[in-house]
């Protein structure tokens, strides 16, 4: 099937690290993406990782990829209240369309 | 360079009416994708178009839904005889190439009364 799975909620304290997990379905996906959606807004591409990499770091964001387990994670260091949003992982399983996960709602409290 | 534009941002229709959603891609982008987000769910692919051609419509419901991307003007997603289950946020994305990054618009939120 084409179900990309994520946990629904994550709550963290401001300043802590957040780790959002994703299990994708198709090992042929060339790129894997993380998008952020703020309330009432569209999607913003945060970062992506090429399938032949196992880690990518971009400022406060670290993406880890375990191809064997089809597991993708996004770590946000020093989480801020402005990071509160819904985070979607997405894969491109050999096609042009994006297959999105169910989304993880991140809530940051002071 | 303006981003992807969608209008209207909010659309209210009664059951049985038609909804027309518009998407203007970024300048220089000839590839357009439509996605639907039902309440509390992720985005689901609907259709992929390249100027005047439908490339992949595997996510489009078989009836009442159609999409076009004419040579001139925006891409249109048309929903005929809307039902309550069509209430959702509809997002458009554009890309400069078939496997390029997709840039998303702000979405159109359709409410069917």
Residue to test with chain A: of B2, B21, B37, B42, most A Cβ within 10 A = B42
**Chain B positions touching chain A (beta carbons under 8 Å):** 4, 31, 33, 35, 41-45, 48, 55-56, 58-59, 91, 93, 98-99, 101-107
Can you point out the beta strands (E) in A1-110? 5-6, 9-13, 18-23, 31-37, 43-50, 55-58, 61-66, 71-76, 85-91, 99-100, 104-109
| A94 pLDDT tier (thresholds 50, 70, 90) | low
pLDDT at position A1 over 60:
no
Q: What is the mean pLDDT of residues A63-89?
A: 95
Q: A98 and B42: CB-CB below 8 Å? A: no
Phi-psi region of A15 (alpha: psi -120 to 50; beta: other; left: phi over 0): left
Q: Is A96 close to B35, i.e. CB distance below 8 A?
A: no
Q: Give the chain A residue nearest B90 (alpha carbons).
A: A42
A22 strand-pairing partners: A6, A72
CA angle in degrees (0–180, nearest 5) for A83-A21-B37: 70
pLDDT tens digits along A25-41: 887 778 899 999 998 78
Distance CA B67, CA B79 (A): 9
Greatest C-alpha distance within chain A = 42
B98/A45 Cβ within 8 A: no
* Best CA proximity match to A6, nearest among A14, B100, A19: A19
User: Residues B1, A98, A46, CA angle at the centre, nearest 5°?
Assistant: 55
Task: Name the phi and psi angles at B19, rounded to 5.
Answer: -120, 135
Is the pLDDT score of A95 beyond 70? no
* Minimum distance, in Å, between the CA of residue B2 and any CA atom of chain A: 15
> Which chain B positions have a beta carbon within 8 Å of A88's beta carbon?
42-43
Beta bridge partners of residue B112, listed in sequence order: B13
Beta bridge partners of A33: A48, A90
The model's pLDDT over A48-67, given as tens digits with 9 standing for 90+, comes to 999 889 999 999 999 999 99
Angle CA A2–A75–A48, to nearest 5: 55
């Amino acid at each position: 099937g084409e179900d990309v799975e994520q946990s629904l909620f994550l709550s963290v304290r401001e300043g802590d690290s957040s780790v959002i997990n994703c299990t994708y379905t198709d090992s042929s996906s060339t790129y894997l993406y993380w998008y952020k959606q703020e309330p009432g807004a569209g999607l913003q591409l945060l970062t992506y990782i090429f399938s032949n990499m196992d880690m990518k770091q971009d400022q406060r964001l670290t993406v880890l990829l375990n191809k064997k387990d089809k597991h993708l994670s996004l770590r946000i260091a020093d989480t801020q209240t402005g990071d509160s949003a819904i985070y979607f992982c997405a894969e491109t399983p050999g096609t042009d369309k994006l297959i999105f996960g169910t989304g993880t709602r991140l809530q940051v409290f002071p | 360079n303006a981003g992807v534009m969608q209008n209207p941002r909010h659309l209210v229709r009664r059951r049985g009416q038609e909804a027309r959603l518009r998407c203007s891609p970024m300048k220089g982008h000839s590839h357009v994708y439509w996605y639907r987000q039902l309440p509390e769910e992720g985005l689901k692919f609907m259709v992929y178009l390249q100027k005047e051609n439908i490339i992949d419509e595997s996510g489009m419901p078989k009836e009442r839904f159609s999409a076009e991307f004419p040579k001139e003007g925006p891409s249109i997603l048309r929903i005929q005889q809307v039902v309550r289950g069509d209430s959702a946020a509809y997002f458009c994305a554009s890309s400069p190439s078939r496997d390029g990054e997709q840039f998303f618009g702000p979405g159109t939120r359709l409410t069917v009364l």
